[in-house]
């Protein structure tokens, strides 16, 4: 551990303030000089923290899942590092619905013409599915086949009346569209279904097996998400008999967020967040060891440089993000109306070192993607874009779709933004021409796998692909050190810029926008509707 000194009373850097309203060249702020912090925050320093997280995972069955000892020890590490840097971190404990599959699910067509469907390709278990071993007749519920011209044409299973005439004991076949998977499954269970198969809707981009969530416990029967091809096939076989088997665990456990504050104005709090937990499959060294280690290093170096912000910075390490943004959701739920107003913005960093990376910036103004963030989010995007532009580094817009911890903040009207280097999405030839790497491969080929580690090939990654990536970039396992250096600099620049602005950045009249929250398709990494 490198030494870090506590805060002194004076900042090393000053800045002319700006508002979060859209800026024009005539009224743009004088740029903040963030060079000292950017120089202090290095990929090598961040990698030390990732190595510590890897060691914790190795000692705990290869994972750092919330509600397990691997996560608890990760939180202890963060607390110890922050304390050594002069912070007084707090542990925000909360109960959450822990979910785990205890055995691989089974899905088969018994008759006619028996078929065994392939887990992960043809179907997956939805999180918070109940357990069961069911053989029954499939019964279609208000399907739209062929699919409509646009997503959410189907309302299959969204209303109790869709189940008029449903035979109790049958397996409900429901199509994705309009309402949440939870609503569809609850209606099916109330109608007497013994299991539920929700298949994808069928439009382009909505055909694969659905990696979905029911949002929490409550449905006690098996619920699986299937591909459009499987659903359409079963819909064409009236009276077909299927076998569905799931073995799951849902129980209330406790985990925690770690919060650490600088000094500064509490009515202009800048929340800088990254989730600390991994998935059940692996140690999560990029997802999200990169983001959490990155903001930890920034916190340490701000202290070492004696930077006292004008506005309070709250470094937040979220728990249970992989269960559906539960830590950040709990945090926001505990804010009073005054607290919400006093939160200037949220900066979110979830995966900033993907091995086949692109520099993604959240599209705060909605100019390139379907959803704009609350008023002020466009200004956050601008700060990132202008910084990378000044470094002659290209960026791409990425959408607010609900896949990370900005979700609860934008749902209550708090401006948000951040950086991302890509997950399971596929790098295009055009992106490879700009950023290098391998076109046609995932941004993170080890996303949500055991090989999201410092030894990816040993943990199951494709050796040929990682050899190509290692030839293109400086890799440390599944961590792209080129990406980490660039994105950490962008992170440090934005954190310090918003920490030192002398303008009121929180705006006024902030309120939740239910329409905005309802547009988000994801709850963390899982589809919710």
Instruction: Please list the active-site residues.
Output: 321
User: Can you tell me the distance from the alpha carbon of 215 to that of 246, in angstroms, rounded to the nearest whole number?
Assistant: 17
Return the residue matching tokens 């900042």.
11
Please count the residues of the chain: 529
Which tokens is 200 given?
A: 């994808």
User: Can you tell me the distance from the alpha carbon of 312 to that of 308, in angstroms, rounded to the nearest whole number?
Assistant: 9
User: Can you tell me the distance from the alpha carbon of 240 to that of 214, in angstroms, rounded to the nearest whole number?
Assistant: 26
Residue among 262, 365, 362 at smallest CA distance from 11 = 262
Q: Rounded to the nearest 5 degrees, what angle is found at the Cα of 423, between the Cα atoms of 436 and 350? A: 105
Q: How many helical (H) and strand (E) elements, i.e. helices and strands, does the chain have?
A: 14, 18
DSSP character for 513? -
DSSP for 163-211?
Answer: GTT--TTSEEEEE--SS-HHHHHHHHHHTT-SEEEEE---STT--S---
Distances (CA, A) of 452 to 329, 356, 387, 486: 25, 13, 29, 20
Q: Are strands 416-420 and 265-275 parallel, antiparallel or unpaired?
A: unpaired
Let me know: does 149 contact 261? Beta carbons within 8 Å: no
For 174, other C-beta atoms within 10 Å of its C-beta total 29
User: Can you tell me the distance from the alpha carbon of 44 to that of 65, in angstroms, rounded to the nearest whole number?
Assistant: 25
Is the peptide bond between 384 and the residue preceding it cis, with omega within 30 degrees of 0?
Answer: no
């Amino acid at each position: 551990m490198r030494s870090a000194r506590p805060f002194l009373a004076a900042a090393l850097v000053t800045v002319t303030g700006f508002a979060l309203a859209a800026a024009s060249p005539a009224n743009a702020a004088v740029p903040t000089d963030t060079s000292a912090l950017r120089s202090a925050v290095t990929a090598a320093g961040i990698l030390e923290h990732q190595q510590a997280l890897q060691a914790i995972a190795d000692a705990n069955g290869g994972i750092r899942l919330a509600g397990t000892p691997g996560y608890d020890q990760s939180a202890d590490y963060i607390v110890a590092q922050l304390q050594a840097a002069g912070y007084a971190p707090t542990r925000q404990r909360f109960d959450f619905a822990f979910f785990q599959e205890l055995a691989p699910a089974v899905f088969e067509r018994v008759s006619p013409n028996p078929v065994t469907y392939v887990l992960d390709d043809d179907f997956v278990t939805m999180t918070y599915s109940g357990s069961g071993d069911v053989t029954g007749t499939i019964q279609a519920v208000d399907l739209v086949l062929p699919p409509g011209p646009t997503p959410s044409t189907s309302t299959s299973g969204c209303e109790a009346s869709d189940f008029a005439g449903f035979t109790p004991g049958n397996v409900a076949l429901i199509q994705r569209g309009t309402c949440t998977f939870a609503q569809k499954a609850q209606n099916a269970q109330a109608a007497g279904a013994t299991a539920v198969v929700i298949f994808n809707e069928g439009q382009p981009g909505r055909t694969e097996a659905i990696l979905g969530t029911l949002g929490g416990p409550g449905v006690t029967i098996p619920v699986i998400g299937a591909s459009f091809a499987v659903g359409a096939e079963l819909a064409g076989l009236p009276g077909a008999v299927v076998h569905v088997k799931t073995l799951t665990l849902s129980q209330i456990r406790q985990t925690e967020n770690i919060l650490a504050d600088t000094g500064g104005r509490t009515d202009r709090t800048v929340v800088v967040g990254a989730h600390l937990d991994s998935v059940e499959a692996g140690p999560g060294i990029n997802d999200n060891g990169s983001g959490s280690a990155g903001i930890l290093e920034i916190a340490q170096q701000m202290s070492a440089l004696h930077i006292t912000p004008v506005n309070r910075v709250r470094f937040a390490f979220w728990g249970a993000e992989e269960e559906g943004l539960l830590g950040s959701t709990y945090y926001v739920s505990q804010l009073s109306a005054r607290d919400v107003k006093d939160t200037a913005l949220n900066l979110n960093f979830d995966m900033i070192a993907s091995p086949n990376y692109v520099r993604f910036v959240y599209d705060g103004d909605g100019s390139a993607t379907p959803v704009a963030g609350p008023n002020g989010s466009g200004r956050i995007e601008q700060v990132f874009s202008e910084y990378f532009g000044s470094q002659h580094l290209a960026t791409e817009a990425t959408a607010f779709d609900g896949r990370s911890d900005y979700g609860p903040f934008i749902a209550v009207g708090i401006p948000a933004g951040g950086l991302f280097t890509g997950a399971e999405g596929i790098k295009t030839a055009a992106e490879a021409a700009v950023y290098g790497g391998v076109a046609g491969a995932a941004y993170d080929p080890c996303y949500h796998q055991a090989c999201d580690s410092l030894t990816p090939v040993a943990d199951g990654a494709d050796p040929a692909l990682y050899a190509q990536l290692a030839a293109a970039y400086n890799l440390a396992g599944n961590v792209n050190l080129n990406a980490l250096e660039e994105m950490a600099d962008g992170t440090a620049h934005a954190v310090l810029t918003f920490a030192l602005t002398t303008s009121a950045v929180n705006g006024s009249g902030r309120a939740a926008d239910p329409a905005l929250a309802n547009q988000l398709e994801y709850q963390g990494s899982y589809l919710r509707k």
